[in-house]
Amino acid sequence: MVFGVAVVVVGKRNLVLRVSCIAPRASVFSFATLVLLAVLFLLAPQQGSALPFFDNLPKFKVRVSENRELQEWLKDQLNEQRKSSSVLKSYEDPLDVARYERGTLEKLLRSRGYYDGRVRQSVTDGEILYRVVPGPVYRINSLEIRMPSHLKPGFPGVGLSVGDPLEAEKVTEGVNRIETYLAESACLLNVDVTYQATVVHSEHAARLEYRVAQSPEVHIGQIFVEGVTTIDEDFLRKRLKLEEGDCFSRKKMDAAKLRMLRTNLVAGVNAEVSEPHGGIVDVTFMVIERKHRTIRLGVGYSSDDGGGVSAGWEHRNILGRGEKIEVETRAYEVAQSLKAELQVPRFFRDDQDFAATAEAENEDRDSYQAESITVGGTISRRHTKHRTFSVGSALKFSEVQEEGEESENYNLLSFPLGLKIDTTDNLLDAHSGATVALEIKPYFDLRGSGTQFTKNTLVMTGYHTFEETRFKPTAALRIKAGVISGADNLEIPADERFYAGGGGSVRGYSYQALGPRRLIPSTAAGEPPELSDPIGGRSLSEISLEGRFRFTETWGGVFFVDGGNAYADPQPSFDDLYWGAGFGVRYMTSFAPLRFDIAFPLDRREGLDDSAYQIYVSLGQAF
């Protein structure tokens, strides 16, 4: 089980204490103890707010005669309000809740154009019944848009016309349409759009009028950047993408500020616009720089690496143009490493990045012992918003020894080629979209052994959320396949072969526990041979399916099934898999979900899989 405590120092004065839990081993605690701890945590009183699981609002029903669509919409809106309203949570009497929610229902009816709607509430056995009589829907009988006459000819409209229902959402959408049109088609110093809706009860109708306030049309004059101390000013100016003489637009100002913030070098930025002079305005960007340095110290335990400590340092503006250098060292029982990485954003092009790495590592795994030094570099280019290509090279000097074998030295030169497609909505907690990551990595041994092989890996994920279904379930799928070609299994360095099993592979089985093993002849006469530790393979197949559920805004759950195996032959198969299954709890933090999973091996092997279950705790979804 991984428990970690880390101290993070940002800049010179800010101190953050971080406690982390990652990928625990089931054998650390008994199953009963962990369940008891989880229950105590959930039941523990929280200062300042109640746990969402135990909010005790009364049940309710909404009845709207002859309008099922409106009935379901009102019900959904009340459910959404109950998730976030602190006022409702303070009421103990169902009558108080009913009176408060009746007012909400009346406002909702008006927002849909039902200005004569009536709501009656009653409480029976602690359950609230809302009877809604919506009345006639009010429609627009007059629509006028007041804007400068020379801008009207190209305006596509507000999306409403005479005879449409007076719905608040569509009316405000009309304001957004006008503002967007003016931001793209005019050079107005200020865009101020308002509307007035006059309800005529006797006619069950309304007059709607949009107004654009008078404002001069101007162009951009001089551009100033102030507050910069360590960042290259020319670098920031290029990020603005503004030039003297450009048509002025508040939308352009906001986009320029956002591009500055996305450099991760700026904590805040404000744009000050001068008074117009001769149709020209000067713009001054006031910048607040971020702290650029971070120090990390940590101690923890991992089922993969044992106990140990870690430390890291990074500088996010080492050369003044957003270049980041990071140095990290880890000293654990099973693995020790020292790694340095330099990242250069916008490398010769705005859509291109460069990363250079150097790493020294020592591993003492069950499968092998290895010492290695690796240096390399990668160039990544964003071809489109969702598609990235990468190409690089790396040189790895290693000494690898397997169980019962002599150590081997390798000088491996590789040229990794990569393609990644990512359409997901969230990196650490995706609800929709898909990813495809393909890497082709040819290796050449420079020691003259003639060893050459190519390592190919493909990982695909997909996500779909059923928004209209209770608990908003998300179906998540991950498929991974790998093939190594060009050399026999035992000719490939052991630390480059494929292994399966563990928290990022097949949950329920120990780390690297799945895959081919050697037969060790028995020293006793008549005894059958024994299986060695896993030796890795030339191919890999993995598949994972999760059903994720959101019970509240902060709590969720998951059921999952994982399957996978590694093979000596370069022919991955999805037929001969080992399966694991389990369930888990998710706590949604502001950064990423905290996950707690329990997994069980469905194909438990006598003498190889000692534990009947495995437990995993980490930050972020499993995939």
Task: State pLDDT tens for residues 153-210.
Answer: 889 999 999 999 999 999 999 999 999 999 888 899 999 999 999 999 999 999 999 9
In a domain, 515, yes or no: no
468 and 583 in a common domain:
yes
| Domain at 280, CATH number | 3.10.20.310
233 and 126 in a common domain:
no
149 and 115 in a common domain:
no
Q: How far is Cα 171 from Cα 167, in angstroms, rounded to an integer?
A: 6
- Cα angle, residue 538 at apex, residues 537 and 539 outer, rounded to 5°: 95
- Cα angle, residue 507 at apex, residues 502 and 510 outer, rounded to 5°: 40
In a domain, 530, yes or no: no
pLDDT of residue 31: 36
Tokens 């609800």 belong to residue? 431
Task: Name the domain count of the chain.
Answer: 4
Q: How far is Cα 180 from Cα 159, in angstroms, rounded to an integer?
A: 13
Three-state SS for 343? strand
426 and 458 in a common domain:
yes
| Domain at 438, CATH number | 2.40.160.50
- Per-residue pLDDT band at 467 (split at 50, 70, 90): confident
Three-state SS for 612? coil
In a domain, 3, yes or no: no
383 and 494 in a common domain:
yes
In a domain, 316, yes or no: no
Cβ contacts of residue 526 below 8 Å, gap of 6+?
A: none
pLDDT of residue 529: 64
pLDDT score of 95 more than 60: yes
Range of the domain at 77: 57-133
563 and 436 in a common domain:
yes
pLDDT of residue 203: 92
In a domain, 596, yes or no: yes
In a domain, 198, yes or no: yes
Each residue's pLDDT tens digit, 397-441: 999 988 778 888 999 999 999 999 999 988 888 999 999 999 999
pTM above 0.85, yes or no: no
Q: Name the domain boundary from 197, 212, 227.
A: 212
pLDDT of residue 525: 63
268 and 127 in a common domain:
no
276 and 418 in a common domain:
no
Q: Name the domain boundary from 182, 212, 242.
A: 212
Q: Taking residues 252-258, what's their average pLDDT? A: 92
pLDDT of residue 512: 86
Each residue's pLDDT tens digit, 211-242: 999 999 999 999 999 999 889 898 899 889 99
Neighbours of 333 (CB within 10 A): 12
pLDDT score of 111 more than 70: yes
228 and 90 in a common domain:
no
**Helix residue ranges, H only, 456-608:** none
Q: Sort 545 into a burial class: Cβ within 10 Å, 0-12 / 13-18 / 19+.
A: middle
Q: Taking residues 48-52, what's their average pLDDT? A: 38
pLDDT of residue 470: 84
559 and 428 in a common domain:
yes
pLDDT score of 590 more than 70: yes
Q: How far is Cα 269 from Cα 227, in angstroms, rounded to an integer?
A: 9
- Per-residue pLDDT band at 50 (split at 50, 70, 90): very low
Beta strands in 492-577 (DSSP E): 517-520, 530-534, 539-550, 555-567
In a domain, 525, yes or no: no
Each residue's pLDDT tens digit, 342-374: 999 889 888 899 999 999 999 888 788 999 999
225 and 208 in a common domain:
no
**Helix residue ranges, H only, 491-583:** none
In a domain, 521, yes or no: no
pLDDT of residue 455: 96
Neighbours of 171 (CB within 10 A): 21
Pairing of strands 118-124, 593-601: unpaired
588 and 486 in a common domain:
yes
Q: Name the domain boundary from 212, 242, 258.
A: 212
Contact yes or no for 340/325 (Cβ under 8 A): yes
